[in-house]
Amino acid sequence: MIERVRPEIDCGLFPAKRIAGDTVVVEADILADGHDLAAGEVLYRRSRDEVWQRAPMKPLGNDRWRGGFLASELGTYRYTVEGWIDRFGTWRSDMTRRIQSGQDVSAEWLIGANAIDEAASRAAHEDSAKLHEWARMLRDEQQPENRKRIALEDNLAAIVQRYPDRRFVARYDKELCLVVDRERAGYSAWYELFPRSCSSEPGRPGTLRDCEEGLPYIAAMGFDVLYLPPIHPIGHRFRKGKNNEAAAGPEDVGSPWAIGSEDGGHTSIDPSLGTLEDFDRLVEKAKESGIEIALDMAFQCSPDHPYVRKHPEWFRKRPDGTIQYAENPPKKYQDIFPLDFETPEWRELWDELRDVVLYWIAHGVSIFRVDNPHTKALSFWEWMIGQVKEQHPEVIFLAEAFTRPKLMYRLAKLGFSQSYTYFTWRNTKRELTEYFREMAASEVREFFRPNLWPNTPDILPEYLQVGGRAAFMVRLILAATMGANYGIYGPAFELCDNTPRTPGSEEYLNSEKYELKHWDRKSSSGLKALVALMNRIRRENPALHSDANLRFHETDNPEVVCYSKTTNDLSDIIIVVCNLDASHTQTGWVTLDLDSLGLDARRAFQAHDLLSSGRYLWHGARNYFDLAPESLPAHIMKVRKWVRTERDFDYYF
């Protein structure tokens, strides 16, 4: 009987997720009736293969078993579990107890010899010969001590277990699925930039060539993904003015998300930005700088989009026959027509949108940030992402879905590689710990990869509005260390732009979504140096490359949060102590869970602060902190343990 296989998402309906090179740990309950011992294996294969590979499972106690396999390639895998009665193991266990209690085991030697001969009949030639010889020796009544030694021989048990008796093997009733992505799906640092604001000259619209010239600035800060909002032609009818005014003036550039004009649609470049050749050049130059270009995929149209004229059946209409524009009450988006994913011609629409994605993949794009996927048909995303990743398993999709938790999780199950989160609004110690425990310690971690953003062009949170420069530092440190994937909307973030359109609003005053901006990147008040330091700390510490081993530790101050991240083997240990109060110095004591960190409470360890370069000798679990937000509001401690050498010298590693 095989039960409670993990990972298993929604009874096997959806795949778990891993990164290429991960060892996939599989657990299951394997039970046998009576007193017989059980044994089990994990079966796994790439979906395109027909032959199963096998990996042994080991008992954890209480009928729980664990095994694993290496997910070495991108794409999809299948896995399941088999179990059977371990007749030789049962015999060996019984023999041990019989021998220890002094019972007569003369008949038992022959039972064991027969079991070994049966295994020999299934074994490879060299192993078969060894097993037959051991069986012969068990039958040899003249060598009683040899019999006992052989019965307890670990090498014998190991060889027999290679050739188990599978006559009554049981297999789990499901083949479970696993999606294996490339490393950047699990670990990345994103930087969002409007190309039209990249000009070095105030008042002149930026171009893709200007964006290319800005690559060294982005690379110097250590980002590996440059995300561009839509770069397509922008519609004219109902174009929005500055600060989202309903009426636009002749000089207003409009919102990039109002896609489509007489110059083309989703496979065209806005002529004011440049040409397709300019874009191809940007992609190549970015790669030379270690940066990937991520494109915004917003499946919506301006009233001037070619689809509106050629395929009016792809849009939902009002009773008066006019096309319904987008709304999110009280907001109205008169410059955007949503596509109707339930149109009778849905198949043609779906094929077209998939081909849009494939078009940009052909131009070197393998990362897409998808705008508001929760407002489209979920079945479309499952189909489209499946179609794309079957041909291009390297492609990454980020879901920009600020919506209900279960809907966000459903999108992840359907195929999205990463997702925006509620981190943007989680500010208190309690909010952070509860939210991240849910994502790190529950089944959610098997399929949901959070991407943490302190701000976006749509969202200027209250915390940043009122906290000043220190608030930006706090949110940067939290995002970059709590999440293996994180991003900032820059240069608004590193220049600490925090003026809302109106009090209580999360909209920026003079939002870049509706007008050209000129950013003074050389400002001495910016956070460029801290951003670069945070990305360097992330690169140099493997513990920050994963979300799996996030643990929270106690503090006696509700304004201070403490958490750690480690590699699985505890070779890299990072402890973060962060002041959440952007206005006041906070002091107190942190109490570490030393066992989870593999630290000995009886020995001191060095805590090297990667932010300030300070070094502290910490003793035991309880340690003092004093954090002033105006300087550096956090410690990011790299733990260095004491090691005793053969020559009796101590050193740190």
Catalytic positions, written as ranges:
371, 400
One DSSP character per residue, 203-229 reads TSPP-HHHHHHTHHHHHHTT-SEEEE-
The answer to whether residues 189 and 225 touch, using CB atoms and an 8 Å cutoff, is: yes
One DSSP character per residue, 336-366 reads -EEB-TTSTTHHHHHHHHHHHHHHHHHTT--
Peptide bond into 230 cis (omega under 30): no
Q: Residue 382 is encoded by which pair of tokens?
A: 């499952």
Buried b (16+ CB within 10 A) or exposed e, 600-619: eeeeebbbbbbbeeeeeebe
Q: What CA–CA distance (Å, rounded) separates 408 from 412?
A: 7
The answer to whether residues 488 and 189 touch, using CB atoms and an 8 Å cutoff, is: no
Burial label for 595, CB within 10 Å (0-12, 13-18, 19+), is exposed
SS3 49: coil
Residue 374, CA distances (Å) to 313, 491, 650 in order: 22, 28, 56
Tokens 């009450």 sit on residue: 329
The answer to whether residues 226 and 293 touch, using CB atoms and an 8 Å cutoff, is: yes
Burial label for 231, CB within 10 Å (0-12, 13-18, 19+), is buried
Peptide bond into 330 cis (omega under 30): yes
One DSSP character per residue, 160-186 reads HHHS---TT-EE-S--EEEEEE-HHHH
Residue 411, CA distances (Å) to 10, 425, 449, 466, 496 in order: 13, 20, 11, 33, 32
Q: What CA–CA distance (Å, rounded) separates 452 from 190?
A: 10
Q: What CA–CA distance (Å, rounded) separates 583 from 465?
A: 13
Burial label for 298, CB within 10 Å (0-12, 13-18, 19+), is buried
Angle at 16 between CA 11 and CA 21, to 5 degrees: 150
The answer to whether residues 104 and 110 touch, using CB atoms and an 8 Å cutoff, is: no
Peptide bond into 59 cis (omega under 30): no
The answer to whether residues 212 and 285 touch, using CB atoms and an 8 Å cutoff, is: yes
